[in-house]
Structure 1
Amino acid sequence: MANNGVPLQVPMLTKSNYDNWSLRMVALLGAHDVWEIVEKGLVIPENEGTLSQTQKDSLRDSRKRDKKALCLIYQGLDEDTFEKVSGAKTAKKAWEKLQTSYKGVDQVKKVRLQTLRKEFEVLHMKESELISDYFSRVLTVTNNLKRNGEKYDDVRIMKKVLRSLDPKFEHIVTVIEETKDLEAMTIEQLLGSLQANEERKKKKEDIKEQVLKTRVDSPKEEHGNATNTLWCSHRVDIVEVELM
């Protein structure tokens, strides 16, 4: 239960969602006021008999919070994954076992970082892709890089976006680079500016299509009217011949 009495659902860990799962779990454990015990670990003194009553009460509370954290972590695991951490005596140990199991040792982490860096470098907007969709792709990669220890500030991300947009945005990119200070700009502001430009382009294209359609349809209407006039005239001639 959260503090307001609303139950918080524990996310399930799968083979492919560890990064997102761990972020959600940190938030969940924090909401239950037990993340600190997971992060710092349960500290048990060598000789509990020498503790004062206040210290004993504090230790009892820490143990209780540790068990609560461990229980929440267990709830997010299937049977096979639970077996990997079932020997952990504290929430911190269980968390670290999962971290090692899913994020791998240093060498695996290095390989993952190299792959993500390459993925970031080759990112390029597709011709028919929306600005919002491209931003989502870029942020997904950069968020994965950050989770694996890489430092990517907003300016670097925005520069990457600007130099990898579709050529149809070349004009607005030039304007932004010449008139805007990226250091004072947020990713959300850049997204807003590019989306506004995208919307204006779409409206212009819609107008052009409408004008073109009107021009194409007009000759058909004129040709149709001329045919009707000719037919009517021919019909009148026939009637006059029959009456004579």
Structure 2
Amino acid sequence: MSTRLSIEPFDGTNFLNWKFRVESLLAENDVLDCISKQTKKDEKGSKKDARARNIIVQSIADSQLSVLRGKETACEMWRALVNTFEKKGLCGKIILKKKLLGIKMDSSESIHDYTQRFESIVSELRTIGEDMKEDEIICQFLMGVSDKFSTIVSIIENSDQDDLTFEYVKRRLHNEEEKHGVNNSTPVHNPTAFQANKPVCFRCGKHGHFQKKCFLNRNGSKYRRGGGRGHSNHGSGYSNHGSGYSNHGSGYSNHGSGYP
């Protein structure tokens, strides 16, 4: 009998992954046939079935053992598990489709973890016979990616569709994540992100300069310097009120962010 490898007990989630591991373990112990058909009730068959039952039971969490109670053979146990946890038919397909359409990458989640969640759903759909094309998979995957990858997603969307593969998309996003940090919530390559470090003009509202250096202040038709303290701008037909600062040294005062 082969040495048994450790399998995380099935707790009701990720059934397909657990099923794959247990089937591999059953095959290694030469008892895989016990879950597909009833074994002969002779001494050899009974021993094989007992080994198969033991592997299954020891690979199930306590919270799920009720599914196996009352089942006398490994085949009965296996069918009970498959019927309970493996999503089949139209109902199962609808559930998985909704799950795929609603999947979103969490703000603190890595591309690796998001990809694993996504591929798990795709794998389940394919197991129940759903034929998913490459472009459909890519589309659904990119729709769920965090906004911090918005720029690289746009680049991918506008690339040559004939050569686009899911593996390529995953690799591009992984590369971007490694460059800019796993949990960085700032959009990758987003030009507006760099504006945050630049000064903001309270007159025109643009980045890159202060109010006193605003181009509006240099427009002679709108602003005329006066000759003394407290002198306001008149003569151009309007006054500036409410800008929040006074420029007494220059002989005029600005009290407005704009003009009526």
With the shorter chain as reference, the TM-score category is: 0.5 to 0.7
| 1:86–1:134 CA distance, 2 compared to 1 (3 A) | closer
Would you say 1:30 and 2:27 are equivalent positions? Answer: yes
Q: 1:42 & 1:27 partners in 2: Cα distance?
A: 19
Question: Retained in 2: the 8 A contact 1:162–1:173?
Answer: no
1:100-147 Cα distance to aligned partner (Å, 9 max, x none): 34448x6xx644432221121233456675433432332232233344
Would you say 1:114 and 2:97 are equivalent positions? Answer: no
1:10-39 Cα distance to aligned partner (Å, 9 max, x none): 442324454443233222212222223312
Alignment-mate amino acid for residue 118 of structure 2: V
Shift of 1:69: 0.6
Would you say 1:134 and 2:117 are equivalent positions? Answer: no
Q: Which ranges of structure 1 fall in alignment gaps of 5 or more residues? A: 45-58, 214-244
Question: Retained in 2: the 8 A contact 1:38–1:91?
Answer: yes
| 1:193–1:96 CA distance, 2 compared to 1 (3 A) | same
Q: 1:9 & 1:127 partners in 2: Cα distance?
A: 33
Q: 1:67 aligns with which of 42, 50, 56?
A: 50
Question: Retained in 1: the 8 A contact 2:31–2:49?
Answer: yes
Shift of 1:8: 1.6
Q: 1:88 & 1:201 partners in 2: Cα distance?
A: 54
Higher percent of residues as helix: 1
Counterpart in the other structure of 2:80:
97
Shift of 1:179: 6.0
Q: 2:14 & 2:141 partners in 1: Cα distance?
A: 26
**What is the number of equivalent residue pairs in this alignment?**
190
Alignment of 1:233-244 (within 5 A): none
Alignment of 1:1-244 (within 5 A): 2=2, 5=3, 7-16=4-13, 18-42=15-39, 61-77=44-60, 81-82=64-65, 84-103=67-86, 110-125=90-105, 130-165=110-145, 166=147, 167-176=150-159, 178=160, 180-182=162-164, 185=165, 187-199=166-178
Shift of 1:92: 0.9
Identical aligned residues as a percent: 24
Q: 2:70 & 2:5 partners in 1: Cα distance?
A: 26
CA RMSD of aligned residues (A): 4.1
| 1:37–1:194 CA distance, 2 compared to 1 (3 A) | same
Alignment-mate amino acid for residue 152 of structure 1: M
1:128-177 Cα distance to aligned partner (Å, 9 max, x none): 7543343233223223334455343555322322455443224421354x
Q: 2:13 & 2:107 partners in 1: Cα distance?
A: 29
Greater alpha carbon shift after TM alignment, 90-99 vs 115-124: 115-124
Greater alpha carbon shift after TM alignment, 30-39 vs 18-27: 18-27
Greater alpha carbon shift after TM alignment, 119-128 vs 86-95: 119-128
Q: 1:41 & 1:102 partners in 2: Cα distance?
A: 21
Q: Which ranges of structure 2 fall in alignment gaps of 5 or more residues? A: 182-187, 199-260
Question: Retained in 2: the 8 A contact 1:34–1:68?
Answer: yes
Which 4+ residue blocks in structure 1 deviate beyond 6 angstroms?
A: 201-205
Q: 1:129 & 1:78 partners in 2: Cα distance?
A: 28
Q: 2:61 & 2:114 partners in 1: Cα distance?
A: 34
TM-score normalized by the length of structure 2: 0.54
| 1:24–1:117 CA distance, 2 compared to 1 (3 A) | same
Question: Retained in 2: the 8 A contact 1:172–1:194?
Answer: no
